Structures are given as structure tokens and as C-alpha cells.
Structure 1
Amino acid sequence: MIAARDGSEVAADVARRARAAFAEPTVRFAVVGSGPDGFALTITRDDGVALLSRLCVDPTVTSRGLGAALVADAVEHARRAGLQRIELDVRETNVRAIALYERAGFTAVSDPWEYDGGDRVVTWSLDLEPSTPASGCH
């Protein structure tokens, strides 16, 4: 999934970045069939902001709402953890991902900047309201 998402990059570079990303995150998986068919990887930064570091959906099961479900789950997980904001970086050419994040309420908060490997990305952010317990729960 990661290699498909990251395009034609060298496999060793993709593996190196994946190992680094999986060092200390919260990982949530989506399963459609025998899965996993997608995952969202979220890290809590030192400044108390959640970073949605990776969002991957198997290309064979796209357009089924898995990406939206994973984003919603990451947002809710960060909200329940008491974080005030969740951020992510997305390639400026990834129009499908940008549309997904806009539908989820994220807004662009940076100009395009050069990421590792020369890709130009934009930082997106969503302010989180504290979650409130359901009626009768304390």
C-alpha cells in the first residue's frame, strides 16, 4: 500500500520512511475483506498536536469510504486524547486526498514547501473541539 501511495520511489527509501513512521505512532486499520485494506498512522508531536503521518488505502478498494472512515477515526481518536488540533501534509498534486481532507473540515495552513525527495506538499490543519461524554456517562 505504501509503495502504491508513494508512487515510483525506490523501494528501499519507501521502507526506510515506513520504519521511521511506525516507530511510535497510533495505527488504526480498516478491513473490508481479508484485509487490512487501509490504515491511518497518527503521531502525537511534542507540542501536543496530532500528526496524521500516513493514510493509505489499498488501490483495489478505493472509493468505498475507507479513507474518509480512517480520517474520521483519527480525528476522533485525537479529540478523545484531549488534543486541540490535528495536522497533515499532502502533496499539492494529490487532488483526491485534498478533496477528502476538505470534506473532513481540514484547511490549508501553509504555502507549498519541498518535502523529502523533492515533492511539494501543503500542511493542512483541523482544530478539534473537546469531545463530550454521552448523556448519563461520567
Structure 2
Amino acid sequence: MTDHREVAVVRWPGRGSSARNGPAELLEAYHLQTQAEKGETVAGVDELPNRYRAEILDPRVAFADDVVLLALSGDTAVGCLVVTAPVNGRSELKRLWTAPAFRGSGVASGLVGAALAHAAESGVSAVRLSVWRWRAGAIALYERLGFTVTESWDERDRLVCMERAV
């Protein structure tokens, strides 16, 4: 049985951050699962598109201008979310991922809540995100948290774009 101790959301990297590998393992799981869901199964990180591989290999560089939030259970990262630097008064949420053993325990809601608080402190007026159409559970979560479907800003098929005022 998985130990579901209290989960804390922290900014990464942070002073005293004890998360062993930070978001790298979570980003790897996220990207490999996403590729599989798109019907583009890859054997490992080396077969991912360069931009995704770069996030996994060096998240500090890949997200240098952004805020990375981690959900920690003890010193183990069990969830992550990236909040992009504001552009035109908006930030974007990206790479929301919860380790499968921790799903349904409020990790994703906690990460999104922390992201919205950060966005409010940063003075943005809105937060947006895109989510794959087949991720119905994620879309339902975002709707519960006040996001609504909006016109797409992304040319990729099968994405649902959502936004919420801060």
C-alpha cells in the first residue's frame, strides 16, 4: 500500500529543496504517457522530440523563466506543474502531472491552487492552459476550478484550450 502522507506544494528549485530529482522523473512519465496517448509510443526518453527531452534532461534550463511547482510527499516528488512567465497579462499552466499512486488525493488541485495564487501575486489577469481532448478527468478538474473552454491559440489538433480570470 502506498503511503499517502500529507503532500506539500513547493516552488522548485527552492532553498532546502530535498526532492531528489526534482521534476525530471515526473516530466519523463508525463511525456512518455502523452506520446503513447497520441499513438506515438516511444521506447524511452531518447526517442522523444528534442524539446520534450530537453525538459527532462535539464528542467532548470528548460523552465528558467518559469515557475515549477512540485507536490512533495516527504522528499519524493509526486506531482508537478509549470507556470509560464507572464506574457500580455497572462500565464499558462503546463505539464500538470500526478504520480499514479497519488491520483485522487487532491495533488493536482493543490498544484493548480498554488499556481493560481502565484499568478495572482505576479499580477496577471488570467491563466490559460491547453489539454488533450481525451483527458476528460483533467478537463473536469479544470472546470471545477473555474476554467472555461475558450478559442484555441494552438494549431495542434485534439487540444482543448481553457482560461480563467485570476
Normalised TM-score (structure 2): 0.66
Partner amino acid for 2:133?
A: E
Matched, 1:94 2:138: no
Cα deviations by residue, 1:90-136 (Å, 9 ceiling, x for unpaired): 00110010011011000000259652xxx5101100011xxxxxxxx
| TM superposition shift of 1:77 | 0.7
The 1-side partners of 2:84 and 2:138 are apart by: 19
Candidates 1, 5, 15, aligned match of 2:53: 15
The 2-side partners of 1:21 and 1:120 are apart by: 25
Q: Which residue pairs with 2:22 in the alignment?
A: none
Q: Which residue pairs with 1:107 in the alignment?
A: 148
Q: 1:112 to 1:77 in 2, by over 3 A?
A: closer
| TM superposition shift of 1:45 | 3.7
Q: Which residue pairs with 2:101 in the alignment?
A: 60
The 1-side partners of 2:109 and 2:77 are apart by: 16
In the TM superposition, structure 1's runs of 4+ consecutive aligned residues that sit over 6 Å from their partners are none
Q: Which residue pairs with 2:14 in the alignment?
A: none
Candidates 57, 69, 75, aligned match of 1:34: 75
Count of aligned pairs: 125
Candidates 22, 29, 32, aligned match of 1:4: 29
**Secondary structure of 2:114 counterpart:** helix
The 1-side partners of 2:153 and 2:94 are apart by: 17
Mean CA deviation greater in 89-98 or 103-112: 103-112
CA contact (8 A) 2:30 2:95 kept: no
Q: 1:27 to 1:40 in 2, by over 3 A?
A: same
Normalised TM-score (structure 1): 0.78
The 2-side partners of 1:39 and 1:92 are apart by: 20
Mean CA deviation greater in 62-71 or 29-38: 29-38
**Secondary structure of 1:37 counterpart:** strand
Q: 1:86 to 1:111 in 2, by over 3 A?
A: closer
Q: Which residue pairs with 1:125 in the alignment?
A: 163
- Structure 1, unpaired ranges of 5+: 129-138
The 1-side partners of 2:95 and 2:86 are apart by: 14
Q: Which residue pairs with 1:78 in the alignment?
A: 119
The RMSD of aligned alpha carbons is: 2.2
